[in-house]
Amino acid sequence: MTTPYEPDMPRTMKVRGKALRTGWTTGTCASAAAKAAAEALATGTAPEVVEVALPSGRRVTFAVDSCALGEGRAEAVVVKDAGDDPDVTHGAHLTATVSWRNEPGIELDGGVGVGVVTKPGLGLEVGGPAINPVPRRMIEQAVGESVDVDARGVRVVISVPEGEKMARKTTNRRLGILGGISILGTTGVVRPFSTASWRASVEQAVSVLAAQGERTLVLCTGGRTEQGAMKLLPKLPDVCFVEVGDFTGAALRRAVEHGVTQVVFVGMAGKLTKLASGVLMTHYTRSKVDTALLGEITRDMGGSADLAARVAEANTARHAYELWEEAGLLGRAGRELCRRVAGVLEHFAEDQAAQVPGASGIAAQVVLVDFTGKRMIAMYGRLAR
């Protein structure tokens, strides 16, 4: 049995000539907008810049895009700069409307363009705004620096014009967040091309699935494989399907913690080859396709010595796939590849379960799809339907 392992992620996704520019989370920008509106409400003067604290204690300054005063209320806008991260919320107008209320303290709510939580498993109140705990604390701290909320309370509403449109490019709907984006961030800073954020989103998706009472997790390597998986398993709700990317190990670990009993992995030849080799974190800088393993499979499935040698020396997993297809061996070799991947996934899940009191292992089913992601080539295990 191949021993599974997870290589560490690289500190940067690739070597670059210059450093990528960091940006600010929606949570940080919302806190800056809230402070600007609170300051305007308290002083009667609209600020041009505000300073807010990050969770680390570091303080940063933001330009206020606009600020308007009304009767007993003020509204301010801060435009999000995501730096060099390809963030769908880059350029979003984080808007805070602050008004007086009779009771002391801060009442925080979401307005237009901020999603509403409709499913458990996110650590947020169902029916409430999708404003995560760290941004919530940042907003409360920022407002408290401008208004003595123990003496006079305020109501803060965070909204994001175009937020509902932006949310269509996220996984919010599948997670049960409807009507807009989430106000996110744990550090306040956006790291460009953040693999950490992808990993966190994978783990969160597994938690939401489990909170719905679902016990089958379908891991897909990307958008094409996810579409194919949904056609293969049409009876499963959307929440069961998670675009796992490179973070299979992280997804399985969270699945074991939540009592998920079955995992279906749907992928193409390259990713499956890495997993069959025991690699549970498959980023290209930390793992390579082991074509020697594919040569071994070729021999085991009755391929000639010449074919096995050519597969072992193939340039890519796709090249090996094509050699199998030409030789009429694709179905048998593909199924053996799936079998080996299932063994690695189940072995890893058993190891994780041994560390969690009361946890049990996971049954794995694996599907090899073609390079369109739509056609099933081979399978090992019984698909959940």
Q: In this predicted structure, what is the pLDDT of residue 93?
A: 97
Query: pLDDT over 90 for what percent of the chain?
Result: 68
User: What six digits make up the tokens of 90?
Assistant: 């880059």
Rounded Cα–Cα distance for residues 193 and 83 (Å): 10
Query: In 66-223, where do the E strands start and end?
Result: 66-70, 73-79, 93-100, 106-110, 113-114, 116-117, 154-159, 177-178, 180-181, 189-190, 216-220
Q: In this predicted structure, what is the pLDDT of residue 159?
A: 98
More confident residue, 283 or 299: 299
Rounded Cα–Cα distance for residues 265 and 246 (Å): 12
User: What six digits make up the tokens of 113?
Assistant: 């363009």
Q: In this predicted structure, what is the pLDDT of residue 214?
A: 94
Q: In this predicted structure, what is the pLDDT of residue 192?
A: 57
Rounded Cα–Cα distance for residues 380 and 385 (Å): 15
Q: In this predicted structure, what is the pLDDT of residue 2?
A: 63
Give the chain's radius of gyration (CA, Å): 25
**pLDDT tens digits, residue range 15-47?**
344 556 778 999 999 999 999 999 999 999 999
User: What six digits make up the tokens of 146?
Assistant: 């401008």
Query: In 298-383, where do the E strands start and end?
Result: 363-369, 376-380
Q: Which residues lie closer than 8 Å to 195 by C-beta, 6 or more apart?
A: 9, 13, 246, 283
